[in-house]
Amino acid sequence: MIEVHDLIVLAEGRWPEPGDDVPPGVPGFIGSAFSPLAAAAAGRCLERTPEAAGATGIVLETAGDRDSATQVAELVAAGKRVGPLWFFQSVPNSIAGWIAARWDLRGPVVCVTDGGTDEAALLIGDGDADRVLIVQVEADQAFARIVTAGDEL
């Protein structure tokens, strides 16, 4: 069994870093910084990660995209039509799946409200992933790190 203290951080990335302003947009995601923040931090981390064979999973740790959820709730409460992009992006798994597709990650995709590192240890320990990208998103910032068990190095 892999424990959290057995994990090794291979690379990290965040948004913002010094000199950053607004994260780049993500096609198909509108009106909220949540998904661009997640994608930008994940991209920076993955660009800094050494190449390796095997499955890379994703754990998105967040309380969710509050802006998108609020927009959807307001439209529903007003009896208005909810556009497909608002509905789609109100689910945090959407950006996690987009990151997996964009970076050709072949492991499981999991979203949690807390305990992302614990979940990563479980995925690696169970053999579901060789490495796990953990992306944490808060109101106006995101942090990503990719971890593995000690035997990959």
Decide if pLDDT at 85 tops 80.
no
The Cα 88–Cα 53 span in angstroms is 31
In the chain, the domains with their CATH numbers are: 7-149 (3.40.47.10)
What pLDDT, on a 0 to 100 scale, did the predictor assign at position 100?
96
DSSP class of residue 25 equals P
Cβ pair 121, 6 in contact under 8 A: yes
pTM of the complete model: 0.90
- pLDDT tens for residues 50-61? 887 789 999 999
| pLDDT, mean of residues 101-107 | 94
- pLDDT tens for residues 25-78? 998 888 889 999 999 999 999 999 988 778 999 999 998 888 888 888 888 999
User: For residue 139, which of 63, 45, 59 has the smallest C-alpha distance?
Assistant: 63
Decide if pLDDT at 153 tops 50.
no
φ and ψ of 92, to 5 deg:
-55, -25
